[in-house]
C-alpha cells in the first residue's frame, strides 16, 4: 500500500468537512479562456468547486493584467471552496515561457546547460548555481504575479535526437547532469514559495512521438529506466520537489494492462509512490500531463481517463490546454461530472479520494497558501538584475561548433555587403505586441551590420530556396538562422552559393548533422529575442563563444 497522504492541521480540518463535490473539485487543474475571469469561467469554477487553475499564453498579457486575473481567481476559488487555489503556469524558460511581459524571459534548459561549460569531477553540474539563482528569480516573479506553482523543471534526459517534443527543453543527455540541474532549479523555485513540478515521469527524452497527438511507446524495462530516465526524478524526489508530472507514454514491459503512464497503477503507484524496484517512494503531488492530449483522448476519452488516472495514483488532473475557449469549459465540466459520478458509484473509493485531496491540501498548507496567496504586483520584482542575469547566461550559452574558414567575428564589415536570412520570430516566444518580422534574427542582424534581410518560412519551398541562394551569391557575407530541419535544403543551397555563410542554429543542436561539414556553425539552442540578441552580439565580436554542448553529436 502507498504511504498515507501527509497531514497538516488546517488541511485535516478542512478535509473532514468537505463534500464529495468539493473534494472532486480539488483534483482538477483547469484552464479558462481569456485574460479576465468572465461570467462563464466564474460559474464553472464556483459551481464545480474547482480547486486549481493553469494559465497559458492566451491568459497572460502583461504583469498588471496577470495580477488582476490571479487575484480574481484566488478570491473566487477560496470563497467557493474554503481552500486557496494552486495557480500554475509552464514557465520553463526559452520558447516555453507563458509570461513574457511582466516577468523576465530566461534561456531554456539546454541553453542553461551549455552556459555552464564542460562538467568536471569537481563540478559535475557546472550550471547548478546559476539554475538555483534562476529558480529563485522566477519564483519571486511568479509569486509577485499571484502564481504559486510552476510546471517545471523538465527532468527528461534527451537521448533521442529525433525527439519531437522535448529536445532543447531538456538539460541534456547525461542523467546525472540533468538530475543536478533539475534539482537546483526546483529548489530555487521552492525557496521562494512556488511549488516545482518535475516532468515528464518516467521520462519523455527517448521518444519519437509527440504525445500531444499520438501515444509514444517505450520498450524499456525498469532496470533500463533506472539507469537513465528515472535518475533525475529520484534525485528531485530526494531533494523534496513538491510535484512530479506523469507523461502519456506506454511501457508494455512495466504495465501489464497496456495503459500509458498517466493511467497506469504500475507506474504511478508501484514505481513512483511506492518506489517499487527503486530506492525510495515519492511523497509529493502526482500531476498528470494534460488529459486533453491526443495520446489519451483518442483511446479513453477525457472523463474516463481522469477516473483511471485517479485510481492509478494521480493527485491532480490537468485538464487545461492553451488557447482554450468556451467549449473547453464544457469539456472540463463533463470530465468533472464523470469523476464525481465515479466517486458516487464507488468506482473511485472515498479512501482513495481522501488520500488524493488530503495530499493536495497539505501542500497548499505547507507552501503558505492559506496564509495569503494574493499577488504583490509586478513592481515587486527586480527587473534589471534579473534581465542582466538572463543576458549573461544567454551569451555564455552560445556554442561554437566549427569555424574552419575563420569567419568569426564578422567585425565591422565596413565595405562588405551582408545578407541576413531567417524565419520570423515565433509568436510564442515574444512579448505581446512584438512584430515577429522586425524582431527576427534577419532584421536585427541586418540592422547591426547595415545589410539586407530576407525572411523565410518554417519550411521553405523551392522558389524561396532559389531566391535565397541567388541573393547569397551576390552578397559578400551571409548569416542565416536555422530553426528547423525543414530549412536544411535552403541552408545548404545558400552555403553552396556563398562559402562564407555563417549558420546560427537557433534551435536543436542536432540540426548540425544536416549541415555541410565545411560550414561555420554556432548553436544558440532557441529562437527568442534573448538568444537572437546574443547571436548578433557574438557575430559583432561582443564576446567569445564559451558554451559547451550538453548532448553528443554523431
Question: Which residues is 403 bridged to in the sheet?
Answer: none
* Nearest residue to 506 (alpha-carbon basis) of 532, 536, 485: 532
Joined together, the cell numbers standing for residue 94 give 526559452
Other beta carbons within 10 angstroms of residue 385's beta carbon come to 11
In this structure, is the dihedral angle defined by the CA atoms of residues 101, 69, 40 and 337, taken in order, positive or negative?
Answer: positive
Cell numbers 524565419 label which residue?
Answer: 423
Listed in sequence order, the DSSP H helices in 201-273 are: 222-227, 230-239, 265
Joined together, the cell numbers standing for residue 379 give 513592481
* Nearest residue to 93 (alpha-carbon basis) of 106, 111, 104, 112: 106
Residue 445: which residues within 8 A CB-CB, separation 6 or more?
Answer: 418, 420, 422, 451, 453, 479, 535, 536, 539
Q: Is 289 a catalytic residue?
A: yes
> Interior CA angle at 218 toward 212 and 223, to 5°?
135
CB 522 within 8 A of CB 400: yes
Q: Is 382 a catalytic residue?
A: no
> Interior CA angle at 411 toward 410 and 412, to 5°?
120
Residue 164: which residues within 8 A CB-CB, separation 6 or more?
Answer: 208, 209, 210
How far apart CA 138 and CA 103 sit, in angstroms, is: 8
Q: Which of 38, 71, 212, 500 is catalytic?
A: 212
Residue 250 has what DSSP assignment? B
How far apart CA 205 and CA 169 sit, in angstroms, is: 10
In this structure, is the dihedral angle defined by the CA atoms of residues 444, 449, 453 and 458, taken in order, positive or negative?
Answer: negative
How far apart CA 407 and CA 517 sit, in angstroms, is: 15
Q: Which of 101, 206, 289, 324 is catalytic?
A: 289
In this structure, is the dihedral angle defined by the CA atoms of residues 47, 52, 55 and 60, taken in order, positive or negative?
Answer: positive
Joined together, the cell numbers standing for residue 117 give 561549460
In this structure, is the dihedral angle defined by the CA atoms of residues 418, 423, 428 and 434, taken in order, positive or negative?
Answer: positive
* Nearest residue to 386 (alpha-carbon basis) of 136, 120, 76: 136
Alpha carbon separation from 341 to 19, 296, 307 (Å, rounded): 13, 20, 10
How far apart CA 135 and CA 192 sit, in angstroms, is: 8
Where in the sequence numbering do the catalytic residues fall? 212, 289
Amino acid at each position: 500500500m502507498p504511504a498515507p497522504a501527509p497531514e497538516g492541521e488546517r488541511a485535516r480540518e478542512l478535509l473532514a468537512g468537505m463534500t464529495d463535490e468539493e473534494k472532486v473539485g480539488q483534483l482538477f487543474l483547469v484552464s479558462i479562456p481569456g485574460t479576465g475571469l468572465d461570467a462563464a469561467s466564474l460559474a464553472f469554477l464556483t459551481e464545480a468547486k474547482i480547486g486549481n487553475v493553469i494559465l497559458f499564453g492566451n491568459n497572460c498579457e502583461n504583469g498588471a493584467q496577470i495580477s488582476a486575473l490571479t487575484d480574481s481567481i484566488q478570491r473566487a476559488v477560496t470563497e467557493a471552496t474554503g481552500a486557496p487555489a494552486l495557480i500554475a503556469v509552464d514557465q520553463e524558460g526559452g520558447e516555453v515561457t507563458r509570461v513574457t511581459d511582466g516577468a523576465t524571459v530566461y534561456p531554456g534548459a539546454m541553453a542553461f546547460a551549455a552556459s555552464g561549460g564542460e562538467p568536471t569531477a569537481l563540478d559535475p553540474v557546472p550550471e547548478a548555481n546559476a539554475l538555483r539563482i534562476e529558480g529563485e528569480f522566477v519564483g519571486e516573479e511568479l509569486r509577485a504575479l499571484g502564481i504559486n506553482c510552476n510546471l517545471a523543471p523538465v527532468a527528461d534526459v534527451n537521448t533521442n535526437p529525433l525527439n519531437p517534443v522535448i529536445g532543447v527543453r531538456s538539460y541534456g543527455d547525461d542523467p546525472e547532469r540533468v538530475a543536478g540541474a533539475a534539482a537546483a532549479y526546483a529548489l530555487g523555485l521552492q525557496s521562494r514559495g512556488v511549488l516545482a513540478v518535475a516532468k515528464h515521469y518516467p521520462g519523455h527524452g527517448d521518444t519519437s512521438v509527440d504525445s500531444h497527438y499520438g501515444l509514444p511507446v517505450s520498450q524499456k524495462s525498469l532496470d533500463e529506466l533506472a539507469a537513465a530516465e528515472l535518475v533525475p526524478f529520484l534525485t528531485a524526489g530526494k531533494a523534496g520537489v513538491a510535484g512530479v508530472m506523469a507523461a502519456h507514454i506506454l511501457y508494455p514491459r512495466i504495465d501489464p494492462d497496456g495503459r500509458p503512464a498517466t493511467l497506469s497503477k504500475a507506474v504511478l503507484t508501484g514505481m513512483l509512490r511506492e518506489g517499487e524496484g527503486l530506492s525510495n517512494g515519492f511523497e509529493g503531488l502526482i500531476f498528470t500531463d494534460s488529459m486533453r492530449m491526443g495520446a489519451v483522448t483518442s483511446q479513453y476519452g477525457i472523463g474516463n481517463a481522469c477516473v483511471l488516472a485517479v485510481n492509478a495514483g494521480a493527485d491532480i488532473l490537468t485538464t487545461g490546454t492553451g488557447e482554450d475557449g468556451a467549449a473547453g469549459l464544457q469539456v472540463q465540466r463533463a470530465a468533472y461530472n464523470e469523476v464525481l459520478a465515479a466517486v458516487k458509484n464507488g468506482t473511485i473509493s472515498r479512501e482513495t479520494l481522501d488520500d488524493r485531496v488530503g495530499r493536495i491540501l497539505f501542500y497548499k498548507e505547507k507552501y503558505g497558501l492559506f496564509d495569503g496567496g494574493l499577488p504583490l504586483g509586478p513592481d515587486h520584482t527586480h527587473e534589471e538584475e534579473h534581465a542582466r542575469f538572463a543576458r549573461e547566461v544567454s551569451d555564455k550559452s552560445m556554442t561554437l561548433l566549427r569555424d574552419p574558414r575563420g569567419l568569426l567575428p564578422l567585425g565591422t564589415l565596413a565595405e562588405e555587403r551582408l545578407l541576413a536570412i531567417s524565419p520570423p520570430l515565433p509568436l510564442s516566444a515574444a512579448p505581446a505586441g512584438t512584430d515577429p518580422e522586425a524582431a527576427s534574427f534577419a532584421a536585427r542582424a541586418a540592422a547591426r551590420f547595415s545589410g539586407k534581410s530576407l525572411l523565410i518560412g518554417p519550411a521553405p519551398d523551392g522558389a524561396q530556396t532559389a531566391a535565397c541562394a541567388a541573393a547569397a551569391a551576390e552578397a559578400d557575407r551571409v548569416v542565416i538562422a536555422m530553426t528547423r530541419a525543414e530549412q536544411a535544403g535552403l541552408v545548404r543551397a545558400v552555403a553552396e552559393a556563398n562559402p562564407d555563410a555563417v549558420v546560427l542554429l537557433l534551435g536543436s543542436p542536432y540540426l548540425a548533422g544536416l549541415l555541410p561539414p565545411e560550414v561555420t556553425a554556432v548553436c544558440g539552442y532557441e529562437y527568442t529575442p534573448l538568444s537572437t540578441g546574443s547571436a548578433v552580439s557574438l557575430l559583432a565580436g561582443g564576446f567569445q563563444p564559451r558554451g559547451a554542448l550538453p548532448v553528443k553529436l554523431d
